[in-house]
Amino acid sequence: MRYLLILVACLSLNPVTRAQHDGARDAVRLIANEKYKQVDSTLKKKKPFAGDAESNFVQMLSQLAQDQPTVAWAKANEALQQGLPPGRLLAGPRPLLEKLDTVPGFTAWKDQANLAVLIHGPMVGNVTAHSASFWIRTSRPADVIAKVEGGGVSSRQQTSEATDFTAVLTVDKLKPNQSYHYTIEAKEGGSIEGVFRTFPEAGEGGRFSVGFGGGAGFVPEWENMWDTILSFEPHAFLMLGDNVYIDQPEQLLTQQYCYYRRQSRPEWKRFTSSTAIFSIWDDHDFGTNDCVPGPEVDKPAWKRDVWKTFQQNWVNPAYGMGEQQPGCWYDFQIGDVHFIMLDGRYYRDLSGGTMLGPIQRKWLLQTLANSNATFKIIASPVPFTEGIKRGSRDPWDGFPKEREEIFQHIESNQIEGVFLIAADRHRTDLRVTKREQGYDLYEFESSRLTNHHTHPVVKTDGLIWGYNQTCSFALMTFDTTLDDPQVEFRCIGIDGQEKESYTLRSSLLKFKR
């Protein structure tokens, strides 16, 4: 009975959930469930509207699922004329797209188009002071390799169906805080070039910026957000959840569709090919709205499959503790700033009073206690601040005992320099939680990168400022070379204009002696 209730909680859809997302994604969910008659009416939703090309692409998928490849090719051709990136017809979902190979018009187009083997990526990630990794997807099985000018060469990797034709290529022996030109090559032909930066040496002071956000719904008119972020040249960007909106954990078709359409966008490719990307998930890219899947590793049964799909589409340093303890938590360091990334979904258990699960919680507490960084940032997919979503148990308000255990651990161990960042609420705001036994805890929250749906600014006691007028992202600019190291919090709109700012000095994150 317990797991039945968990499954209902995790798979139920409510009107609010539907209101946040585009008709194209919802139509693909219908295709996955073989409800083809509802596809056309669902595609007519206009708020937000994914565009005519996307609608035709989804109608093509519907026709292929019904074994109508000739009609499907006509829809695909319309989508191409409306600006659909040609690589979309090779990326997938492949079990459906392979049916187009029976249509002479499609095979003739494919031969004439001479499409590249490298169709998605590269995405830069897992960057350190001395290494970097590059994620790539190919149109067919291929041997791929990464070369960094003046820095070395990766081992050659083979893409295959088993990895959804993706590979992660790692190059080491690099120098800290330096720009490098790199090339990804496919033995079968073709290459992609880019430029990235390594991080400052771990433990050393420095000046650098890191952006973050969540709430990246697919709204073509706002995909220029990725160019806006890129223009600020952050050393890294943290995707803190709801990075794509899937809401169908039992259907791989929908998951792949949502990843592929974002990965095919030229704005996203420009951004991720030169900015170190780190990611965690939240409810909409793990399960469904506000899902509570329970504490077991393999219950519900879809958990591990969703985890594997997540791994195939990002380039993180780690994914929990691997096969034995799946998840998306890990940590990394830029100079003397320590980022601790949390998984708030895989082991979430309301009846057990834990968002993290005992193993991740122990890891978090040990990681905090062992850190010597000037700033220690706990990155959560949902906010810690009390009253942030009144009446809901989805943020940390649903787990007050575990939240207090973390806060008391900071205080009892005299861990200085901690502040919090989070996503989930569709706006950008800065808040502070007063603590009697220690220093006050600041929380910077941002989760309206490209979303159509907006949340009002909730006026908690610790609200410093909030912004929800347009899409926005959070930018943190660190300077730990100062006598009193500081981080400047900035809310940047999709137009590239600063909306709010606040400077936090490390002296405010210390215990009284």
Between CA 376 and CA 277 the distance in angstroms is: 19
CATH classification for the domain delimited by 118-197, as one of 3.30.420.40, 2.60.40.10, 2.60.40.380, 3.20.20.100: 2.60.40.380
Between CA 226 and CA 239 the distance in angstroms is: 12
Element holding 96 (H helix, E strand):
helix 94-97
Beta bridge partners of 375: 337
Q: Which ranges constitute the DSSP H helices of 283-357?
A: 283-286, 303-311
User: What are 238-258's pLDDT values in tens digits?
Assistant: 999 999 999 999 999 999 999
Cβ-based neighbours of 358, under 8 Å, separated by 6 or more: none
Q: Nearest-5° angle of CA 134, CA 313, CA 66?
A: 135
Q: For residue 20, what pLDDT is reported? A: 58
Q: For residue 400, what pLDDT is reported? A: 98
User: What are 50-105's pLDDT values in tens digits?
Assistant: 889 999 999 999 999 999 999 999 999 999 999 999 999 999 999 999 999 999 99
Q: ω before 234 within 30° of 0 (cis)?
A: no
pLDDT bin (cut points 50, 70, 90) of residue 11 is very low
CA 127 to chain centre: 16
6 pLDDT above the threshold of 90: no
Between CA 62 and CA 55 the distance in angstroms is: 11
Tell the residue number behind the tokens 């797209």, with chain if given: 97
Angle subtended by helix axes 252-263 and 23-32, to nearest 10: 150
Q: For residue 151, what pLDDT is reported? A: 86
513 pLDDT above the threshold of 90: no
Q: For residue 5, what pLDDT is reported? A: 42
- The dihedrals phi and psi of 393, each to the nearest 5 degrees, come to -105, 10
DSSP class of residue 200?
P
> What architecture is domain 207-509?
4-Layer Sandwich (3.60)
Neighbours of 78 (CB within 10 A): 17
User: What are 289-333's pLDDT values in tens digits?
Assistant: 999 999 999 999 999 999 999 999 999 999 999 999 999 999 999
Between CA 2 and CA 346 the distance in angstroms is: 16
375 pLDDT above the threshold of 90: yes
Per-residue pLDDT, averaged over 174-202, amounts to 96
User: Sign of torsion, CA 118 122 123 127?
Assistant: positive
Between CA 221 and CA 207 the distance in angstroms is: 33
Q: For residue 471, what pLDDT is reported? A: 98
Q: For residue 46, what pLDDT is reported? A: 67
Per-residue pLDDT, averaged over 358-387, amounts to 98
pLDDT bin (cut points 50, 70, 90) of residue 22 is confident
pLDDT bin (cut points 50, 70, 90) of residue 45 is confident
8 pLDDT above the threshold of 50: no
Burial class (CB in 10 A: 0-12, 13-18, 19+), 37: exposed
pTM: predicted TM-score of the whole model, two decimal places: 0.95
pLDDT bin (cut points 50, 70, 90) of residue 49 is confident
27 pLDDT above the threshold of 80: yes
Q: For residue 44, what pLDDT is reported? A: 86
Q: For residue 1, what pLDDT is reported? A: 41
Q: For residue 113, what pLDDT is reported? A: 87
User: What are 404-459's pLDDT values in tens digits?
Assistant: 999 999 999 999 999 999 999 999 999 999 999 999 999 999 999 999 899 999 99
Between CA 309 and CA 292 the distance in angstroms is: 19
**166-171 and 236-239: which strand pairing?**
unpaired
Between CA 358 and CA 282 the distance in angstroms is: 19
Structure tokens of 413? 């161990």
Helix, strand, coil proportions of the chain in percent (round to 5)? 30, 25, 45
List the chain domain ranges: 17-113, 118-197, 207-509
- The dihedrals phi and psi of 489, each to the nearest 5 degrees, come to -90, 130
